[in-house]
Amino acid sequence: MARHTPQTHDEILAAAARRFAVTGYRGTSLQDIAREVGCSKATVLYHFAGKDALLAELLAQPLAVLRELDERLAPLGGAEARRVGAEGFVDLAVRFRREIALLRGEFPELLAQPTFAHVQAMSERLIAALTGHTGRLADRITALVLLAGISEACAEFADVAEDELRPALLAVARRALAPLDPVDND
Amino acid sequence: MARHTPQTHDEILAAAARRFAVTGYRGTSLQDIAREVGCSKATVLYHFAGKDALLAELLAQPLAVLRELDERLAPLGGAEARRVGAEGFVDLAVRFRREIALLRGEFPELLAQPTFAHVQAMSERLIAALTGHTGRLADRITALVLLAGISEACAEFADVAEDELRPALLAVARRALAPLDPVDND
DNA sequence: TCAGGGGCTGACCGATCGGTCAGGCATGCT
DNA sequence: AGCATGCCTGACCGATCGGTCAGCCCCTGA
């Protein structure tokens, strides 16, 4: 039953990603992951400090990219913040749609944990950027509809090719954000 | 500790709605609900057949309205289907945003249960209606962005007044759907 | 040849879950 | 008074969760 190969670490990670994407983080037990890999639950916990460590490793790369977008957005304002924010987030969501899928709906609960507190702060700044920092409620509603909608669409259409998903999402974002700042062209 | 009043049923229901909205359906235990009511867990299960019965009763009304929208949508096509679908769903989401909030992200898992199989079918028909039944992938992506985004926005802005939330969401929906069928006017 | 260590395991732990059950305690009808 | 009924409870159940631990197997290098 045992693989006796040092790549077990990666196999566990891949299996966890698959299971999380189907049944969610909470809905997936270490037993489930172990069964999919073909090893024991203890082996999973030998390679990873805990269930949360598994999730953290799976999310490390997309979170790093999100942080980069956050920093890129910091000095921007108005129409440019909106454009860069929208394009940056669509790109992020499309690239890491499998990782987004495995968070499916557990965003609120998981982000409430102190481990991911900075993520919540970043997403709030992203929403502010998408409004062009107007602070108007209607604009914030629009921005949230886009962020949540794009995330869910990426999770749902995980099997669709990037170059088919990305332009469609960009088009929706542009349409939804279009009238926010009429000065904007391009 | 006991209330000894026949309205315990309603108190449990209200407490469950409050807890579900904060920690989600899965994240809320019968103990949590009982503690909030000030009764024992056994009392909760005396008034309700099970945890799922609690959820079913909380969702009964919004699901009935969704079914009504589904029937209203059945004979429609093209631009009219899109308009009625968008307005109907925004109205539904705004009216029952507290119920939507308590599903927060658990939609996929909960709707996967056979109990809610018809809900999934209805939401697929709703997406088809929002595309004007074109069947194009880009249109289906747009529709899903809207459905998921509006749901999440309603959950997030549960405290915003209806007459502030509804027009903002309708505006986003109209903007996002606008170019789908250029023949459409109004 | 044999010691050492990395990889892996079954057995086990305490906690918590949803749910069951027999019985207590008022109240109201006969 | 006696009985039935509705409401509620503590104690308990089996299942499952994430996580721990002592020890086994096998490969490697001295």
Give the list of residues 6+ apart from residue A1 with CB closer than 8 angstroms, or none.
A38, A39
Instruction: Report the SS3 class of residue A5.
Output: coil
Residue B184 at interface with chain A, using a CB cutoff of 8 Å: no
Looking at residue A45, its pLDDT comes to: 97
Closest CA to B160 of A154, A144, A165: A144
Q: What is the pLDDT of residues A69-118, one digit of tens each?
A: 999 999 998 899 999 999 999 999 999 999 998 877 677 677 777 778 88
Residue B78 at interface with chain A, using a CB cutoff of 8 Å: no
Distance, in Å, from the CA atom of B143 to the CA atom of A157, rounded to the nearest integer, reads: 12
* In the predicted structure, residue B142 carries a pLDDT above the cut 50: yes
C-beta neighbour count of B148 within 10 angstroms? 21
Q: What is the pLDDT of residues A10-31, one digit of tens each?
A: 999 999 999 998 888 888 999 9
CA of A35 to C1' of C8 (A): 14
* In the predicted structure, residue B182 carries a pLDDT above the cut 60: no
Helices (H), chain A: 8-23, 30-37, 41-47, 51-73, 78-95, 97-101, 107-112, 117-130, 137-156, 162-177
Residues B108, B58 contacting (CB under 8 angstroms): no
Which chain A residues in 124-183 lie under 8 Å from chain B, judged by CB atoms?
137-138, 141-142, 144-153, 156-157, 160, 164-165, 167-169, 171-172, 175-176, 178-179
Rounded to the nearest 5 degrees, what angle is found at the Cα of B148, between the Cα atoms of B145 and B149?
Answer: 75
